[in-house]
Amino acid sequence: MTDTFKKYLMGDSSARIQAVRLDASWQTGLAHQPYPACISRLLGELTAAAVLLATNIKFEGSVVLQLQGDGPVSLIVVECTSDLTFRATVNLRDPDLVPAEGSLQTLLNTYDHGRFTVLLDPGRDSDMAPYQGIVPMEGETVAEVLEAYMRNSEQLDTRLWLAANDKTASGLLLQRLPDVGGIATNDGEQAAPGTTDGPVAESKAESWNRITQLAATLSTAELLEADTDTVIRRLFWQETLLELESRQPAWHCPCSRARVGAMLRMLGREEIESLLSERETVHVSCNFCGKPYEFDAVDCAGLFLDNVDDSGSRTLH
């Protein structure tokens, strides 16, 4: 299946509906991060949620979702940019302490000190200031934590269904839009004429209740096995939907051999030679995605020559 994100608007402008499925990109992200199944599930659910939320930011930047824990897992963090490239990772205090059937609360909120953080980062080139929201980890699932955050911090009525394993990360988001007429919503969609009360508002409330009840029938197995078109068709085949956009998310971590080479060169020749005296090669793994890099004695020597780049490759003049 192809990695896909799709966004729809209800015909009466009562809500937006978004769906995402990550297959190849998710498997790429886990290629160098062999986590226990319960952790891959939490990381995948948070990743699907980050992609769903990143499509609604109105600047060229990124959304960072972070679960900071006091249990066997110290940190789960996902970053998704406005062009839907993402990366994700987990920090463990001790892999041996991770239970086989660990849940969000047992893994991250053992002593009730867990925190959920949302960071909106407009990037270095923007005049906008970053936004950060930090709340207690309320909820038994990633979806419930996010719903509580959106409801209490953003005053947005939002429902989420998330599922993940080591092959797929998938999610469905419903978000109720303001009951106001004649103005555009923050997606740029034009709301239907009406006011905040009366028949129009009542009709929109009924639409919201109806689609949330329909979405509540969605099973974890369906989210993991069906593509986004199938999920939307099964749930909302009787609804009038306007498809707003369709995009393809992709895994991307900016680590590279050149960057690792630059880091090694900053350690200095003496430190690198000391490392090589103890082993044949220097092994370095990306702190974020876990991708391994290997430099032997020849590679390391090349880092300190004037006519090589940071990866140890000789350049021509």
CATH code where residue 66 lies? 3.55.30.10
Q: Are residues 93 and 74 in the same domain?
A: yes
Does residue 314 lie in a domain region?
no
Name residue 67's beta-bridge partners. Answer: 76, 116
pLDDT given for residue 195 in this prediction: 43
CA dihedral sign, ordered 121, 123, 124, 128: negative
Q: Are residues 273 and 217 in the same domain?
A: no
- Which helix H or strand E contains 80, and what residues bound it? strand 73-81
CATH of the domain at 268: 3.90.1280.10
Domain ends where: 225, 251, 277? 251
Q: By C-alpha distance, which of 161, 37, 29, 47 is closest to 107?
A: 37
Count of CB atoms situated within 10 Å of the CB of 28: 16
Does residue 307 lie in a domain region?
no
Residues 6+ apart with CB under 8 A from 185: 13, 16, 177, 178, 191
Does residue 313 lie in a domain region?
no
CA atoms of 61 and 125, how far apart (whole Å): 10
Does residue 160 lie in a domain region?
yes
Please work out, in degrees rounded to the nearest 5, the angle formed at the alpha carbon of residue 36 by the alpha carbons of 255 and 231.
Answer: 85
Does residue 190 lie in a domain region?
yes
Q: Are residues 171 and 109 in the same domain?
A: yes
Radius of gyration of the chain from its Cα atoms, rounded to whole angstroms: 23
Domain that holds residue 219: 4-251
pLDDT given for residue 129 in this prediction: 84
Q: Are residues 196 and 276 in the same domain?
A: no
Q: Are residues 245 and 268 in the same domain?
A: no
Whole-prediction pTM: 0.86
DSSP string, 56-70: T-SSSSEEEEEEE-S
pLDDT given for residue 99 in this prediction: 87
Q: Are residues 183 and 81 in the same domain?
A: yes
- 10-residue averages of pLDDT along the chain (317 residues): 91 96 96 93 98 90 95 96 95 88 93 95 80 93 96 91 97 89 43 51 88 97 96 96 96 92 91 90 90 92 71 46
Does residue 35 lie in a domain region?
yes
pLDDT given for residue 306 in this prediction: 64
Domain ends where: 217, 251, 285? 251
- Contact between 5 and 169 under an 8 Å Cβ cutoff? The reply is no
**Could you give the 3-state DSSP secondary structure of residue 23?**
coil
pLDDT given for residue 77 in this prediction: 97
CA atoms of 257 and 292, how far apart (whole Å): 9
Residue with tokens 């000190």: 113
Q: Are residues 65 and 205 in the same domain?
A: yes
Q: Are residues 261 and 241 in the same domain?
A: no
Residue 199: CA atoms inside 13 Å, Cβ hemisphere, count?
1
Q: Are residues 155 and 208 in the same domain?
A: yes
- For the chain, how many structural domains are there in total? 2
Does residue 184 lie in a domain region?
yes
Q: Are residues 137 and 277 in the same domain?
A: no
Q: Are residues 28 and 133 in the same domain?
A: yes
**Could you give the 3-state DSSP secondary structure of residue 246?**
strand
pLDDT given for residue 186 in this prediction: 43
Does residue 310 lie in a domain region?
no
- Contact between 88 and 32 under an 8 Å Cβ cutoff? The reply is no
CA atoms of 54 and 246, how far apart (whole Å): 14
Q: Are residues 223 and 294 in the same domain?
A: no
